[in-house]
């Protein structure tokens, strides 16, 4: 079975292919540490479209394709004018004539789906309000560096946002164990939860949601959190701080998981969803996660944009 054309959601991909991407990411990291950067995307161009601010996504995609011998072109919304100057379909069709792939970081998930439907080149979801699949793959790599992924329990504590949606789907495809603790007012996407449960029925994954962070964290191998206020939600920040206060990842909460490592996709609102003591302590793997964005995305780009795909 051939791979999907695009990397929009991990739920679109078979488990075998995701494990292969993980293996290649780990190999690319090893090669990079040895001073070797195979030019597998020599002459390839990746367009990068950003509606949202970015540090990790921008730098890791641009550096990643450069390390593989290719080149990145930055596109800003005021330059492209999707929905004002041009339709998503026209942008996708034009870019398909010029570049070899498009990474899009947008508010609307449907926009990325529209671009993918019209483009003949691969579309990579660099983040939408619904999903963040590239970060989830970097997280998988980070967990695999520290434990047997298939035996580990991952707990997510906080907002039911794009990050937990993607982690839930990844666990569902690969047959992993994930526990999720969010307030009842801010659960993961019902649409994503339904899809994850369908996938889990085949893969044997365990997906458990609760409102109790203490219940979710107990005995976990990895505890993951993310900002309580995502981009575009700034007007809700004060209300969210009140709602999510019991979900802060701190030393007291982690007493229920004495051996757990801590994950955060960053940027972090220190003193809100996680304390400095935890984030900067020996449990923290946050900078490994950030580094692994580079290598996991190189593996994704190779898989989608390699010459054998053309």
Count Cα atoms within 13 angstroms, Cβ side, for 230: 20
Catalytic annotation, pick one of 293, 295, 297, 303? 293
79 noted as active-site residue: no
Q: Which residue out of 44, 56, 129, 135 is catalytically annotated?
A: 135
- CA 193, CA 188: separation in Å to the nearest integer? 7
Q: How far is CA 43 from CA 12, 75, 95, 176, 310, in A?
A: 28, 19, 16, 38, 13
d(CA 81, CA 88): 9
Catalytic residue among 6, 100, 221, 265: 265
Which of 105, 109, 177, 179 is flagged as catalytic? 105
In angstroms and rounded to an integer, the radius of gyration of the C-alpha atoms of the chain is 19
- For residues 71 and 40, give the distance between their C-alpha atoms in angstroms, rounded to a whole number: 12
Specify whether 269 is catalytic.
no
Helix or strand (DSSP H, E) at 264: strand 261-264
Among residues 44, 132, 177, 264, the one annotated as catalytic is 132
The reply to whether 135 belongs to the active site is: yes
Tokens of 109: 């998930």
DSSP state of 112: H
The neighbouring-strand residues paired with 127 are 105
Q: Is 17 exposed, middle or buried (0-12, 13-18, 19+ CB in 10 A)?
A: middle
Has 132 been annotated as catalytic?
yes
Give the span between the Cα atoms of 4 and 48, in whole angstroms. Answer: 20
- Encode 184-245 in three state secondary structure: CCCCCCHHHHHHHHHHHHHHCCEEEEECCHHHHHCCCCEEEECCCCCCCCHHHHHHHHHHHH
The question of whether 114 is a catalytic residue gets the answer no
From the candidates 226, 240, 297, 303, give the one annotated as an active-site residue.
Answer: 226
Token couple for 161: 């946002």
* Distance from C-alpha of 180 to C-alpha of 183, rounded to nearest angstrom: 10
Note if 239 is an active site residue: no
| CA dist., res. 199 & res. 52, Å (int) | 30
Hey, which residues are catalytic here?
A: 105, 132, 135, 226, 265, 293
């Amino acid at each position: 079975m051939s791979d999907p054309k695009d990397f929009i959601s991990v739920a679109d991909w078979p488990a075998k292919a995701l494990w292969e991407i993980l293996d290649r990411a780990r190999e690319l990291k090893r090669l990079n540490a040895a001073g070797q950067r195979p030019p597998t995307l020599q002459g390839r161009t990746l367009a990068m479209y950003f509606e949202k601010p970015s540090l990790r996504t921008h730098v890791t995609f641009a550096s990643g394709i450069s390390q593989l011998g290719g080149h990145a072109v930055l596109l800003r919304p005021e330059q492209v004018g999707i929905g004002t100057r041009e339709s998503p379909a026209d942008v996708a069709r034009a870019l398909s004539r010029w570049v070899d792939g498009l990474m899009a970081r947008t508010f609307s998930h449907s926009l990325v789906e529209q671009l993918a439907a019209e483009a003949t080149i691969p579309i990579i979801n660099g983040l939408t309000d619904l999903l963040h699949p590239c970060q989830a793959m970097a997280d998988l790599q980070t967990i695999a560096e520290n434990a047997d992924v298939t035996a580990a329990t991952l707990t997510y504590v906080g907002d039911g946002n794009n990050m937990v949606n993607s982690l839930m789907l990844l666990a569902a495809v690969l047959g992993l164990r994930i526990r999720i603790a969010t307030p009842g007012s801010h659960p993961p996407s019902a649409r994503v939860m339904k899809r994850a449960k369908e996938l889990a029925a085949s893969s044997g994954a365990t997906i458990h949601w609760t409102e109790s962070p203490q219940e979710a964290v107990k005995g976990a191998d990895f505890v993951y959190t993310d900002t309580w206020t995502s981009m575009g939600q700034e007007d809700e920040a004060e209300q969210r701080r009140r709602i999510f206060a019991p979900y802060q990842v701190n030393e007291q909460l982690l007493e229920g998981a004495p051996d757990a490592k801590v994950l955060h996709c960053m940027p972090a609102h220190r003193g809100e969803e996680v304390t400095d003591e935890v984030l900067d302590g020996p449990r923290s793997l946050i900078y490994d996660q950030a580094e692994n964005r580079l290598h996991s995305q190189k593996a994704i780009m190779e898989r989608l944009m390699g010459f054998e795909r053309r």
